[in-house]
A and B are shown apart, each in its own frame.
Chain A
Amino acid sequence: MSDLAIPVGGQAHTHASHHPKHLQHHFHNSAQQFEASKIGMWLFLVTEILLFSGLFLAYFILQTRHPQAFIEAHHHLDRSLGVLNTIVLLVSSFTMVMAVQSSALNRIKPALVYLYATFILGGVFMCVKYIEYSHKIHDGLLLGNLFSYKGASVPGEYLFFSMYFVMTGIHGIHILVGMGVIAYLIWRTHQGMYSSAYYTPIDLTGLYWHLVDMIWIFLFPLLYLVS
């Protein structure tokens, strides 16, 4: 019976006593709680992937119906800013994984530095996005009925910008949520909540952050490199 995750009935499992602070009452030990949380997070990520799959499908349908409009419209995007943001997010993925690794090794100081770095890189991404968005807004290259750009040569260019704003907008919201969670982690780390014995929130936020990065890796070629 030694392979069981749970101690067997007779070995007294009493409430409250000798439970670590982070361990919720309905779990038997930290490992069980960690694994359950991890399953929960992966399932949540699956729902995120399916959410974005709907957007990707809508993109492909519209692009197939209006190939010329999509090619023409994507020239309005600034490729170099797109590349910059891709690099920013890739580096932030690296700092995030280092934060997880450091906390696993109980190096809390470096973990904190990496969390700050990830937060700042997320902020840089949003600033670049802000610059891009304000150019588009200035030119009237907007979604749906807000599209007012006069120099469009192919009908249906606004469909590209509909997809551009919906997709990057929803992705941007995910970055903002991620930054909020990382800010919370920084606060809790300062309080000394995490150690190699318990760093589940950092680990799970890392998974989320990588997924959001990965979605951008798909968005970038779809929107900036249409051919």
Chain B
Amino acid sequence: MAEVLTQRTPAAVHQPEGNFLTENTGLLNWMFTVDHKRIGLMYFWTIMTMFFVGGVLALVLRTELLTPKTTIVSAEVYNQLFTLHGVIMTFLVLVPVIPATLGNFVLPMMLGAKDVAFPRLNLLSYYLYVFGALLAVGAIIGGGLDTGWTFYTPYSSTISGGVSIMTMGAFVLGFSSILTGVNFIATIHRLRAPGLSWYNMPLFVWGMYATAVIQVLATPVIGITMVLLLMERLFQVGIFDASLGGDPVLFQHFFWFYSHPVVYIMILPGMACISEVIPTFSHKPIFGYKAVAWSSVGIAVVSFFVWGHHMFVSGQSEFAGAIFSFLTFVVAIPSGVKVWNWLATMYRGSISLGAPMLYAIAFLLLFGIGGLTGLFLATVAVDVHLHDTYFIVAHFHYVMMGGTLIAFFAGLHYWWPKMYGRMYNEFWAAMGCLLVFLGFNGTFIPQFIVGSRGMPRRYYNYLDQFQFLHVASTIGSYVLAIGLVTMAAALIVPLFRKRYDAPNNPWGAASLEWTVSSPPPTHNFHHVPVVTHGPYDFKAARRLEQMESHS
């Protein structure tokens, strides 16, 4: 963190007027762009559309569960709706939401690069995502699919309907995810600006790196699993079907070998956002930089050895169960390291409660609950009772929505001024955060209770005694929906202002993306930046800014 104050850019060059939003407009220029910022925004709006659809489905599901018997949809439709909700939210929203939107937008700028290493692959990744999304959603709407998002065999390999097209969709989406991962690793290795050593990188970049490693290593396995499932359906090759001499548990092993690490593909980018927001809004360098950086890598490594905790009751040996249980507890260590480091960063900091920070604090609380209830489920004896109940549903929503999405909202508010050059509405953003926080807890705390009392997940009818908790949960989900709409309005309405009102560096942050204008010019940097201070050295960053404004 040497503060060698060399000049960053030759001061004589003035920035031209245009930026990446206003240069070369027109539909075709956007559709065939290789600019990482535009691709990030295209991903953003597409994913938000999917998130809206998935959210509406969730509201329909919750409304159906207002009464113990039929409320608004039939049982068959209910099964298809929760499958669609699960598939959309996991494969189409949670996996790509942070890397493909915020990651694409800010990662090259954080490194001082003009673009990712392979811009055309980046665009290909976007179109593969769109194609995969059409296949997946089309499969359910056209053919019907009620397997749940896990596609367990032999049910999925023997029923008719849209499973084959869905497996192709998952295969294509996997490709899209791999391309993002490959791109990020190559970019981080080879496109860092002079002076940007590994330990000078913002922690967001470390999180993206760990995520990319999992994307590259885990995703091919779901690819081949989907190919084998397709073969099973087309030719009854017998690999996953016990009646043909195969092994249905093998499918579960394959599935979770991808789908547990994928949980970390979702949460690591969330943690990456939080690691940027908390130091900036506490106006204090991150506590234990190296510990936070390496804990991302630690989580990525351990994530490959815990998949068996999804299979405690699937006929796995008790010995394997005990090992997987132990390894799952191990994941809590690097996660705990991160949480305590964030808290230590806030301790005695000068905290300003902007919307990104409000979401970051909500994240700490919700992810804390999500993570700790995960330990209940990692304990074999407890899991036998809680397996496949609403307790699980509440747990993974706390991690996925309370963790990943809340962190995404933190990052979204944080980088929104950089993306569009306009500040969001601070008051309504704070109200949105409050409603989201209350609504979220209102939805899922009742589900913890109803689950621990034995209410199974994915059931259409339930016992009368559970109705009170289900009604509470449904009301919570309505509040949550209102909160999300409020948040969207606070972000979107200011975009109709003609003038860019966001300063280059509204938060006083110290990483490179804040040294360029808001919104950034098409090629990000007019000259290769030279990094002379650490990513959380706010004082040095301010001094450099003042020097530049004087010259």
Task: Please report A residues at the B interface, Cβ cutoff 8 Å.
Answer: 1, 4-10, 13, 15, 24-28, 32, 35-37, 39-40, 43-44, 46-48, 50-55, 57-58, 61-62, 65-66, 143-146, 155-156, 158-159, 162-163, 166, 170
Contacts and interface: CB of A to CB of B under 8 A. Distances in A.
A44 B175 CA distance: 11
Given A6-B194, A51-B223, A144-B237, A13 B113 contact: no
Contact of B245 (A1, A4, A159, A166): A159
Interface in B151-207: 178, 181-183, 185-187, 189-191, 193-194
Contact of A144 (B220, B221, B238, B528): B238
Of all A-B residue pairs in the complex, the 7 with the closest CB atoms, nearest first, are A144-B235, A54-B224, A162-B237, A26-B114, A26-B115, A50-B220, A144-B237
Given A8-B528, A9-B529, A44 B182 contact: yes
B119 to A, nearest CB: 7
B186 A40 contact: yes
Nearest to B530: A9
A25 B190 contact: no
Contact of A46 (B10, B114, B191, B217): B217
Given A39-B189, A51-B223, A62 B235 contact: no
B193 A159 contact: no
A164 B194 CA distance: 51
Given A40-B117, A43-B185, A62-B246, A6 B193 contact: yes
Contact of B238 (A24, A39, A55, A158): A158
Nearest to B213: A43
Contact of B235 (A24, A58, A162): A162
Contacts of A1: 194
Given A9-B527, A40-B117, A46-B216, A35 B190 contact: yes
B254 A54 contact: yes
Contact of B114 (A25, A53, A143): A25
Nearest to B190: A36
B219 interface: yes
A25 B117 CA distance: 11
Nearest to B217: A50
Given A8-B528, A9-B528, A36-B191, A145 B235 contact: yes
A51 B117 contact: no
A4 B119 CA distance: 23
14 contacts: A7-B528, A9-B530, A39-B189, A40-B121, A40-B183, A43-B216, A44-B182, A50-B221, A50-B224, A57-B254, A58-B228, A159-B246, A162-B235, A162-B239
Nearest to A59: B239
B194 A8 contact: yes
A85 to B, nearest CB: 23
Contacts of B187: 36
Q: How large is the interface on B (under 10, 10 to 19, 20 to 34, 35 or more residues)?
A: 35 or more
A7 B223 CA distance: 41
B118 interface: yes
Given A28-B528, A61-B247, A145-B236, 8 more contacts: A8-B530, A32-B190, A32-B191, A35-B189, A39-B190, A51-B220, A55-B224, A166-B231
A61 B121 CA distance: 36
Interface string B243-257: 011110010001000
Given A143-B231, A144-B236, A13 B528 contact: yes
B178 A47 contact: yes
Contacts of B219: 47
Contacts of B227: 166, 170
Given A54-B224, A65-B245, A10 B10 contact: yes
Contacts of B441: none
Contacts of A52: 224
Given A9-B530, A51-B223, A39 B231 contact: no
B539 interface: no
Contacts of A51: 220-221, 223-224
Nearest to B241: A144
Contacts of A37: 117-118, 186
Given A10-B10, A44-B182, A156-B245, A143 B191 contact: no
Contacts of B117: 36-37, 39-40
Interface in B1-46: 7-10
Contacts of A9: 7-10, 194, 527-530
B67 interface: no
Interface in B73-96: none
Nearest to B36: A26
A194 to B, nearest CB: 19
Contacts of A7: 528
B178 to A, nearest CB: 6
B225 interface: yes
Given A39-B186, A144-B231, A158-B238, A47 B191 contact: no
A48 B220 contact: yes
B260 interface: no
